[in-house]
A = this chain, B = another copy of it.
């Protein structure tokens, strides 16, 4: 078990997927302990700050990486298992940014209204009790369980494209799905030699849909296990955990994001079970869950979840059992600590 460390110094974070030289090179089967900054680059330390003034747009959502994975070639699949993810600080920050959020006018859903109020919330994190506490202006408080996740994780895009970290698309990126928690394996297409994996934008928790445009933004200390499945490919990022196979689509509008994710799942079930497409369509339709990931990023992300129990043996067979293999590696790592 080889364990690498990626702990970027200020200035060593990346602003794009694609177009960046690797900051670490690993082998398939290796683990990486990785530190990620919050989406503000750590520049918001007080609720009196104004993110739109104090954080340059170019610094938003900067990611740790890229990590080059040896032997990953275009046409292969990169499997990334999230072994653990834990907030680095006893607070998390959430914001309402002008021109951002599902219930606000944005650059794309352009209207003549003035922007909503910009506001910053500091949530108290109790890393023992594993809760976050919210304080409203009228004295109301609420405590929610933590459920840490990576908002942004992806590889270099195909065809030489370079995309801002804020964009989710076929290469992954800012998918902002709560499913990207510890225990999930993410499958990504390899578009360039080494795949060039980057990640960041951790949320101590986030509601489905990321309505306000931010979660409980938090620097994270996490551990990944990576592997390469030769020749497997995938059109869109897929996820797997112990209970579910998950397809995703990141495109506007939501109608199309849902179509992409659910069509992918029908195809995946068809491939795994050998049922014809119409039978696969039927079974997926009756068994699936469809939680919205986000409707706030430049593309919107839907996740479609298929319970493995509905697929029998076939439910364990995705990519030659890559998830089970990496999950075992993760457990081995955690046991060694």
Contact = CB atoms under 8 A, between A and B. Distances in A.
Interface string A261-300: 0111010000001111111011111111111100100001
A47 to B, nearest CB: 12
Given A116-B278, A160-B162, 11 more contacts: A94-B285, A111-B263, A134-B286, A136-B282, A136-B283, A138-B275, A207-B289, A211-B266, A212-B282, A292-B292, A292-B302
A193 to B, nearest CB: 17
A101 to B, nearest CB: 8
Given A212-B281, A282-B134, A285-B207, A103 B263 contact: yes
A262 B108 contact: no
A121 interface: yes
A313 B60 CA distance: 37
A259 interface: yes
Contact of A102 (B16, B206, B211, B262): B262
Question: Interface residues of A toward B: which range?
Answer: 35 or more
A251 B167 CA distance: 14
Within the oligomer, what is the number of copies of this chain? 4
Nearest to A251: B108
Contact of A289 (B110, B249, B291, B300): B291
B253 A290 contact: no
Interface of A: 15-16, 18-19, 58, 94, 96, 101-105, 107-114, 116-117, 119, 121, 123, 132, 134, 136-138, 140, 142, 144, 159-164, 205-216, 235, 249, 251-256, 258-260, 262-264, 266, 273-279, 281-292, 295, 300, 302, 304, 310-312
Nearest to A214: B285
Contacts of A207: 284-290
A211 B160 CA distance: 28
B15 A260 contact: no
A154 B68 CA distance: 33
A278 B96 contact: yes
Given A104-B113, A105-B113, A112-B116, A290 B161 contact: no
A249 to B, nearest CB: 8
B142 A258 contact: no
B252 A254 contact: no
A255 to B, nearest CB: 5
Contacts of A291: 208, 289-292
Nearest to A298: B251
A108 B260 CA distance: 6
